[in-house]
Structures are given as C-alpha cells and as structure tokens.
Chain A
C-alpha cells in the first residue's frame, strides 16, 4: 500500500509482461504512447505513483490502475466509444504518421 495515498498496489495487466526498462520509465512510455491516441478524444494520461491519472479537457479525472482499465475509463470520460476500427480514428493516426 502507498503510505501517502493509501492506495493498494495496482495489479498487473498482461501488457506489463514484457519489460524493457524500470517500472517508472515504462509507465511514462506507456502514457506517452497512449496520449497519441487519447488526444483524439480530448484526453490525457499521466503516470502517477504506481498507476496513472486520466484527465479530460473539462478537468474530469479518473484513476487508471493499468492499461486494462484505460479504455473503459476513457470511454466514460470522453462520453463516446473509443474504437480502434473507427475509420476516422485510423485516418487521423495515419495523417500524423
């Protein structure tokens, strides 16, 4: 448990199973990668302690334990489906390169 916030340690997600750096560096890298997509929905992910915070443009914020809980939280905050097969989303990512 975190002594400051009282939160229990976040459980692992399957995507945590292939490690390439320190846990903190990996969380930052995951947040950076996620923000490339989350920006399309007006959301931003930031590494925080052993988990993440997900924020919308209006200031609404949600705690995210790991990437397994990211997309349900993102859909709640964005108020719409986050669909990787949405042609508009794909086209936006393709345009960014």
Chain B
C-alpha cells in the first residue's frame, strides 16, 4: 500500500471494556484488514478469535485480521509487522490497532510513532480512542492519574457499560468527560448502531479535528486537569511556532493534549495542529474553514493551566489579537494587559 499505515491507539483503564470493543470491531467487515497489537496472547480476551498461529508473535484472527503481541517493545513489534507485510508473510493489513495496557499513558506510544525516524515513515497516528466505564469511571478518574491522562489525550471517547449505570451517573460522567476533553466526541458502546468503522478511520486531512474545534468548548472544571481555549485572529506562523515550541519545552509534561485550527497570516485556508505532551504532529492544511470563520482556535488540555496567563503569553509572543469569541470560554483577558501589535519589522 502507499503512504504510511494509520495506527489507532486503544486505551482505557483496567476493566473499562477495551477488549469488548476490540472484539466487536474485529467482527466488522469494514475492519477486516486490520492488524492488532496486544501485549501478550492470553492476557486479553481475544484468544477465542484466534484461528491459527503464524510465526513467532503473530497470529491470524477469525475474519482475516492479524494479531501480534508487543512483548514490551512497540517499535520492534511494529517494524516486525511492517517487514512481514512487505515480505507477504501476513495478510496485507491497511491499519493497525494497538491495545495498550490499562495502566498505560498513551504519550510514550505516540512519541514512539512520531519521533522514531523509521516508524514515522511507515506509520502515522490516526487516533487515540479511550474506553471509559460508565459504572466505575468516576471513581477511576478520582483515583488514577493514568485514567485522567487517557481521557485527556483521546481523540474519541467510548462510554461502556451505560446499560449498567443509572442515567444520572452516566450523564454526570459525560459532563466530566466533556470538561476534561472538550474536543473528543463521546460514543456509547452499547448503541446497536455504533459507527464501528468511524472509530478507527484515519483523519488524514484533519477535517474531523477541525469540525470538533469549531464546536462549543465548555468551561474548564475546577479540578486539576482542564481545557483552555485560545482564540485569535490570524497569526504569524513563525511566531506561533516559537511560542508553542517554547511552551511545550517548559510545560509539555503537564500539557496532555493540544488541538488547534490555526489561521495563518497570508494563508486563505486553515492549518490543523495536534500534539500530545511534548510532541506535535506535522501540521495539516485543510481545504476550507469548517464553519466558514477564519479564526485561530487552540485548545490546550492539561494540569493546572492558567487560561488568562496562557492567553496573555500567546498574545505577547505572537502579536495576534486574542478574543474570547462567542462565549466559548468565559474567561476574559483584561484589555489593560493588551500589548500593542508589534511592528512589522519585528516579525
């Protein structure tokens, strides 16, 4: 196949229902050409789907999917899988799903995919999908930092066991998830018509991310992890890159996720930017503005983020006019601190 193979990271705390989702997805005809990376055979409930072992750590699943165990080294497992496909030793899969352990922070796996010079040519991160248990999700988020990180990093959240939770508890958890990660859509796993294929479909143009960034962003919660929206007019790309690079260098450990639709000065169409912790994916150009409004919208999700300070810093570094938009984020940047727009010679 041409181009890098999209990789979906499937995360979720212990017992959240990752394997239930995976087993369901792998029965879906549209996902037949999927290679699944798991930690160890026998650790997860996919064994009943195994048809025959192939070679080493690779096995064939019912329906034609390939299953491969990671054994602790994601890079080696992906290179091995890539090599087997090239040599025709496994069916020609078109996407990879990595089921992480329940305690895993998705950041290091994304770092491996984005930063490794070999892997980044063969694979691309399609999405981080996080499963959250509607019955125990609240308690898990209270007790485990890893679970909060998994939600904050997600591109899509899957709510499992909603049939076992009270409507109030499910609604409360949904509100908490929306506050933790306002740019990830939440899908109910128990829905009969859950769009399985869409869960693992790549978003090569970034259009889906752009659409979600145009949606309303709720106010950040009062807990330690929350979202901050920076909204501005067009921005000088060089200055924006300097500011974001400096910010992630110093604060990347507590910025769990960033997504942005950037209006670049002198460009007619938007640029989508996405990052996980210290890492930023290569920016992508969109053919048009999802909502027709040419404005920069950057959402940062992380620990103890001071929205006012971030917006003030962004404005001072980039010179862009920061706005609070149409009530997306209610915090107000005092005009008294507004710097003058920098002279052209400074840019």
Interface of A toward B, CB cutoff 8 Å = 11-15, 17-18, 20, 26, 29-30, 32-34, 36-37, 67-68, 70-72, 75, 81-85, 87, 90, 93-97
Contact = CB atoms under 8 A, between A and B. Distances in A.
Contacts of A72: 249
B239 interface: yes
A26 B347 CA distance: 12
Interface string B258-298: 00000010110001010000001111010000000000000
B163 to A, nearest CB: 42
Contacts of B347: 29, 32-33
20 contacts: A14-B241, A14-B280, A15-B237, A15-B241, A15-B245, A18-B264, A18-B267, A26-B238, A67-B242, A70-B245, A71-B250, A81-B250, A82-B246, A83-B246, A84-B246, A85-B310, A94-B337, A94-B339, A96-B346, A97-B340
Given A14-B282, A18-B283, A81-B250, A93 B245 contact: no
Given A15-B244, A33-B347, A34-B242, 14 more contacts: A14-B281, A15-B242, A17-B282, A18-B271, A30-B241, A32-B346, A36-B342, A37-B317, A82-B249, A85-B309, A85-B310, A90-B313, A95-B339, A97-B342
Contacts of B313: 84-85, 90
Given A84-B313, A96-B342, A97-B340, A30 B247 contact: no
A94 B334 CA distance: 13
A33 B246 contact: no
B289 to A, nearest CB: 16
Q: In the complex, which of the residues B244, B245, B267 has the most CB atoms of chain A within 10 Å of its own CB atom?
A: B245
B316 A93 contact: yes
Contacts of A32: 346-347
Nearest to B314: A84
B312 interface: yes
B164 interface: no
B143 to A, nearest CB: 30
Contacts, number: 97
- Nearest 9 CB-CB pairs, A to B? A15-B241, A94-B339, A71-B249, A97-B340, A93-B316, A14-B280, A17-B283, A84-B246, A33-B238
Interface in B296-347: 306, 309-310, 312-313, 316-317, 337, 339-343, 346-347
B202 interface: no
Q: In the complex, which of the residues A17, A20, A70, A95 has the most CB atoms of chain B within 10 Å of its own CB atom?
A: A17
Contact of A33 (B236, B267, B285, B343): B236
B251 interface: yes
Interface residues of B, number: 40
B212 interface: no
Contact of A30 (B242, B309, B337): B242
B41 interface: no
A14 B238 CA distance: 11
Nearest to B305: A85
A11 to B, nearest CB: 8
A70 B343 CA distance: 24
Nearest to B282: A17
A84 B250 contact: yes
A83 B283 contact: no
Nearest to B338: A94
Q: In the complex, which of the residues B244, B246, B280, B306 has the most CB atoms of chain A within 10 Å of its own CB atom?
A: B246
Contacts of A68: 245
B250 A83 contact: yes
Given A15-B245, A33-B347, A82-B246, A97 B281 contact: no
Contacts of B281: 14
